[in-house]
Structures are given as structure tokens and as C-alpha cells.
């Protein structure tokens, strides 16, 4: 299927885009979620980081990467010498998808249709921020940005391209790291994320 970019006239500012997205009903995920979790960071960032979707804590806080996966991202970005306040951080999907289990809300991976609907907002964010480099963390971000769902671990560390040609550095998702049960393997996965973030920093230098 041909991939089409969002072609709406760009809003005057990122805040206008955020306000438009806040009322999004493009897919059913808006129903159960608390709110849209839009990207945050300077509009003139050279680097855009894209994750999958907000988790439980992000859904409540209205900010991306503030829960456990965010703590991993912050630690590794810091170790890689990246200043989060100078990076635009967002997600491929802006609403939290979950199933309720008692009082807990369990993360559900967004399906291809949900990712495609939400690409509308990601395309517009990318067009407005116009980063020099995007880091795609995990399979969902990678598929949304590059159009390819090929295995992530084989692509990790490589640089691909978004629909408009913006370079996309592929890496693993912080939540994946948290799910690795073996401590040694988990430390290795953390080191991989860190080295990809170092590569992003060096690429931009």
C-alpha cells in the first residue's frame, strides 16, 4: 500500500498542533484513554526520539516517557551525553492502549491500523520540528517511520529513512530492556541502547 504523508496545511505552531491532536478521534483508542499524550521538546530540536505509545503513567501525566521506560531512556540518554531538554520526544501512537485487569491497566501493542491513523500526527510533528535525525525506539516507531516491519534486532544500529528522507536511526525500546529477565542480558541490552544514543549524538556533532 502506498504511504501518504499528512498533507494538511501546517498549523501556526506546535502548540496549535498539540491542541488539534487533543481532540483526536481518528481511531477508537481515544475512548478508554485519559488523554492524548503529545510530543514535547523544542520545536527547533535537531533530534527527535520516537517511542511506541504512552504507558499507564504517561497516560495519567499527559507527558511521554515519564514512567519506568522513561527512567531507562533518561538514564541511557544521560549516559550518552544527550540533554533531554534539547530533544523532541514523542510516540508513534498518542493514546494509551490497554486492557483492564482488576485495577491494573495492561499495555496492549497498537495494531497496524491504529499506527497508521496516528501517523497523521507523527508526520505533522516531524514536518514542524524538521529534525536532522530521528531515533526510532522499537518496532512500532520503526514501522511507522520507515514503512517496514522487518525484524528490529537485525536493523538495530542502522540508519534508514523516513518518508521525506529524514535519517532514522533504529534502536531497541526501553520497555524491551525492562522485560529481559536475565540481568546480564538486560545490561547488554541497556548498553546497546546507550551506544545507539551515542551514535545519534555523534551523528549530529
Site for ligand URA in 9-68 (CB under 6 A): 51-55, 58, 64-65, 67
Judged by CB under 6 A, which of 69, 115, 170, 199 binds ligand URA? 69
The minimum distance between CB 7 and ligand URA, in angstroms, equals: 26
Q: How far is the CB of 109 from ligand URA (least distance, A)?
A: 10
Position with the least CB separation from ligand URA: 51
Cα–Cα distance, 174 to 185 (Å, whole number): 14
Strands (E), 102-161: 104-107, 133-137, 159-161
Count of Cβ atoms closer than 10 Å to residue 16 Cβ: 12
Residues whose CB is less than 8 angstroms from the CB of residue 122 and which lie 6 or more positions away in sequence, other chains included: 50, 90, 92, 144, 145
x/- mask, ligand URA, residues 78-117, rule CB under 6 A, reads -------------x--------------------------
**CB-nearer residue toward ligand URA: 39 or 131:** 39
What does residue 111 show for φ and ψ, rounded to 5 degrees? -85, 175
The three cell numbers locating residue 71: 527512567
Contact status: 171 vs ligand URA (CB under 6 A): no
* CB of 12 vs ligand URA, minimal distance in Å: 26
3-state SS assignment for residue 170 = strand
User: Measured on CA atoms in the order 137, 139, 144, 149, is the torsion positive or negative?
Assistant: positive
Q: How far is the CB of 160 from ligand URA (least distance, A)?
A: 19
Q: In the complex, which residues of this chain contact ligand URA (CB under 6 A)?
A: 51-55, 58, 64-65, 67, 69-70, 91, 175
Amino acid at each position: 500500500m502506498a504511504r501518504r504523508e499528512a498533507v494538511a496545511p501546517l498549523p501556526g505552531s506546535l502548540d496549535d498542533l498539540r491542541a488539534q491532536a487533543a481532540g483526536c478521534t481518528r481511531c477508537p483508542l481515544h475512548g478508554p484513554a485519559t488523554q492524548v499524550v503529545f510530543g514535547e521538546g523544542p520545536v527547533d530540536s535537531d533530534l527527535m526520539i520516537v517511542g511506541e505509545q504512552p504507558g499507564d503513567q504517561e497516560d495519567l501525566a499527559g507527558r511521554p516517557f515519564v514512567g519506568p521506560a522513561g527512567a531507562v531512556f533518561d538514564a541511557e540518554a544521560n549516559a550518552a551525553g544527550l540533554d533531554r531538554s534539547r530533544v523532541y520526544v514523542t510516540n508513534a501512537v498518542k493514546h494509551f492502549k490497554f486492557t483492564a485487569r482488576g485495577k491494573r491497566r495492561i499495555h496492549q501493542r497498537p495494531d497496524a491500523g491504529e499506527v497508521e491513523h496516528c501517523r497523521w500526527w507523527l508526520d505533522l510533528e516531524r514536518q514542524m520540528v524538521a529534525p536532522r535525525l530521528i531515533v526510532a525506539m522499537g518496532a512500532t516507531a520503526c514501522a511507522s517511520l520507515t514503512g517496514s516491519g522487518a525484524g528490529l534486532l537485525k536493523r538495530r544500529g542502522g540508519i534508514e529513512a523516513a518518508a521525506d528522507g529524514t535519517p532514522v536511526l533504529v534502536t531497541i525500546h526501553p520497555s524491551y530492556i525492562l522485560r529481559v529477565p536475565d540481568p546480564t542480558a538486560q545490561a547488554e541490552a541497556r548498553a546497546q541502547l546507550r551506544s545507539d544514543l551515542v551514535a545519534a549524538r555523534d551523528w549530529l556533532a
